[in-house]
Structure 1
Amino acid sequence: MRIGLLGTGPWARMAHAPALSGHGELDFAGVWGRRPEAAKELADEYGVRAYDDVDALIADVDAVAVALPPDVQADLAARAARAGRHLLLDKPLAPTVAQGRAVVEAVREAGVASVVFFTTRFQREPEAWIDAQAAAGGWFTARAQWLGAVFTTDSPFAASPWRRERGALWDVGPHALSVLLPVLGDARRVAAAARGPRDTVQLVLDHDGGASSTLTLSLTAPVAAAGAGVELRGTAGVTELPTGTETAVDALTRAADALRTAAATGTPHPCDAAFALRVTEILAEAEGLLEERAV
């Protein structure tokens, strides 16, 4: 599979470029970025072509990997899908439901494969745990905490405009939902949403399976308090999400494998654009409740 990278920021450099370059079954064809000088620098590092024209890159490949802000990703993903290119995307799929739906419609109409990279879902130990708990069933309640210190450290993502605008709900909320939804079922509704310190958000969800879940999300946690965890309680007792030992590059390599399989078989991956759209819908519902409370 010949694949191109759209994006040149920290995540493209830390995860996408090394994963695509090091994958034995991918032909890493080139890089496009909104800043041509950054695209050239990254492309030169990996010995691939830097593209000035995004449509030229799309025309030269079978698939695109996207490491761009959600609003830019959504528009380019739909554009690439309409050109018949498979999609390896990042979360969140889009900043609005309408933009997310446009991606899903383009994927469906073109018959291309899509995989959205929710990191935890592509790490071996967490993935196996999620599958096992979904099969076990009988869950009564769950508690998810995704507490980042992006804005309280010198994180390379601290200057990200979209993260500063949308906060933890849209950045780490997708990670928590990607674990909870396959185990507890779809969220019938966001029962409650409240703001905590700085960008911290707390949600309560009702799930199709009858369980409820609570989520605490933040990018401004103290360094000593940062971390992620999910606890389930039900008829089988209590269990916690194991910590993934694989790097982001390892996980992204597995996501690329999933895209190759989906493209070859025509069978959608569980973390496809349609699933990511559902996550976007839940985030938008929660954001609406938060805005109502702020009035």
Structure 2
Amino acid sequence: MTRHLRIGLVGAGPWAAMTHAPALAGHPDVAFGGVWGRRSEAAAELADAHGTTAYTGEDGLGELFAASDAVAFCVPPDVQAELAVRAAAAGCHLLLDKPVATTVDDARAAARAAEEAGVASVVFCTLRFAAPTAEWVEAQAGVGGWFTAHAQWLGSLYAPGSDSPFAASPWRREKGGLWDVGPHALSALLPVLGDVTAVTAARGPEDTTHLVLRHATGASSTLTLGLGAPAKAAGVELVLRGEHGSAVLPDGWGDPVVAFRRAVDELAAAARTGRPHPCDVRFGLRITEILAEAERRLRS
């Protein structure tokens, strides 16, 4: 592989414009190869802003894959899963967004495609790449002896007066906080408490979901997840309690552009060494399996 990893971006929405595109354009070891978007106007506007090429349509997608060593995705999860299969088949390493998909079959197909093609993958769970929170997760995993944990991830995307650019996202409206912020909580809890062995779920107000999880270490955790909280009720907290006392997730995740650049670096390292990243597409598949089981419990 050359020093400059050629990375294309699939997606031209608000999160791509805020995070992915500036991170790729400003990375010293990346050649930002282009932007593909379902809407040609959005793709052209984002590509022009960062001095790269816009691609649209089926032919454009294939051209972007052919011109790239890796592809970063910023599209709805089930669109992402389908396109990730095609990118892997074209030999591109995968820099995926969370969640990988909202069905187990789709996530499994993406994981299988990456394995069969022998490409590296990283799922951009922000907590695992923002320096303060990534270091905290690693430190708590090393401490061990945790007894229980509580995570609360409440957003106010749908509160009166909200001006969030993500409030109009159809997949978030359909799937709610369970699928949007649930991956954040699980990305921090699983490395510390171990895999999930049992799931209980209950509905709360609006789109809020309450989960009780049993982990392979014997610890338990509770999660409160939602996007429809009142503005003054919104917030994020994660507290661990165990034989050494308690530990609280640091406030603030820093600049997401910086965190995304770290994800790029770690994808490049995985591609160069052949060593799977701990937050790869298989980890994304496991998160999808847990959330799908929670959704099944809610329906029953």
Query: Could you tell me the TM-score, scaled by structure 1's length?
Result: 0.97
Q: 1:245 to 1:275 in 2, by over 3 A?
A: closer
- Which digits, 9 at most, give the CA deviation of each residue in 1:208-242, with x for residues without a partner? 00000000001011111211111011001011111
Tell me which of 144, 154, 161 is aligned to 2:163: 154
Tell me which of 85, 89, 112 is aligned to 2:96: 89
Which AA in structure 2 matches 1:38?
A: A
- Which digits, 9 at most, give the CA deviation of each residue in 1:100-147, with x for residues without a partner? 000000100111000000001111111111111111111110000011
3-state DSSP of counterpart to 2:99: coil
Q: Is residue 179 of structure 1 aligned with residue 188 of structure 2?
A: yes
The whole-number CA distance in structure 2 between the counterparts of 1:207 and 1:243 is: 25
Alignment map for 1:62-211 (pairs within 5 Å): 62-152=69-159, 153-190=162-199, 192-211=200-219
Q: Which residue of 2 aligns with 1:246?
A: 254
Q: Which residue of 1 aligns with 2:13?
A: 9
The runs of 5 or more residues in structure 1 that have no matched partner are none
Q: Contact 1:120 / 1:244 at 8 angstroms: preserved in 2?
A: no
Which AA in structure 1 matches 2:85?
A: A
Q: Which residue of 2 aligns with 1:27?
A: 31
Tell me which of 273, 276, 291 is aligned to 1:265: 273
CA-atom RMSD, angstroms? 0.7
The whole-number CA distance in structure 1 between the counterparts of 2:136 and 2:21 is: 28
Q: Contact 2:100 / 2:288 at 8 angstroms: preserved in 1?
A: yes
Q: Which residue of 2 aligns with 1:228?
A: 236
3-state DSSP of counterpart to 1:155: coil
**Count of residues paired in the alignment:** 291
- Which digits, 9 at most, give the CA deviation of each residue in 1:258-291, with x for residues without a partner? 1111111111111100000000000000000001
3-state DSSP of counterpart to 1:151: coil
Q: Is residue 218 of structure 1 aligned with residue 244 of structure 2?
A: no
Structure 1 residue 244, shift from structure 2 partner:
3.5
Q: Contact 2:9 / 2:34 at 8 angstroms: preserved in 1?
A: yes
The runs of 4+ residues in structure 1 deviating greater than 6 Å are: none
The runs of 5 or more residues in structure 2 that have no matched partner are none
Which AA in structure 1 matches 2:237?
A: G
Identity fraction in percent: 63
Which AA in structure 2 matches 1:254?
A: R
The whole-number CA distance in structure 2 between the counterparts of 1:109 and 1:29 is: 25
Q: Contact 1:138 / 1:234 at 8 angstroms: preserved in 2?
A: yes
The whole-number CA distance in structure 2 between the counterparts of 1:199 and 1:140 is: 28
Q: Which residue of 1 aligns with 2:22?
A: 18
3-state DSSP of counterpart to 2:254: coil
Q: Which residue of 2 aligns with 1:288?
A: 296
Query: Could you tell me the TM-score, scaled by structure 2's length?
Result: 0.96
Q: Contact 1:150 / 1:157 at 8 angstroms: preserved in 2?
A: yes
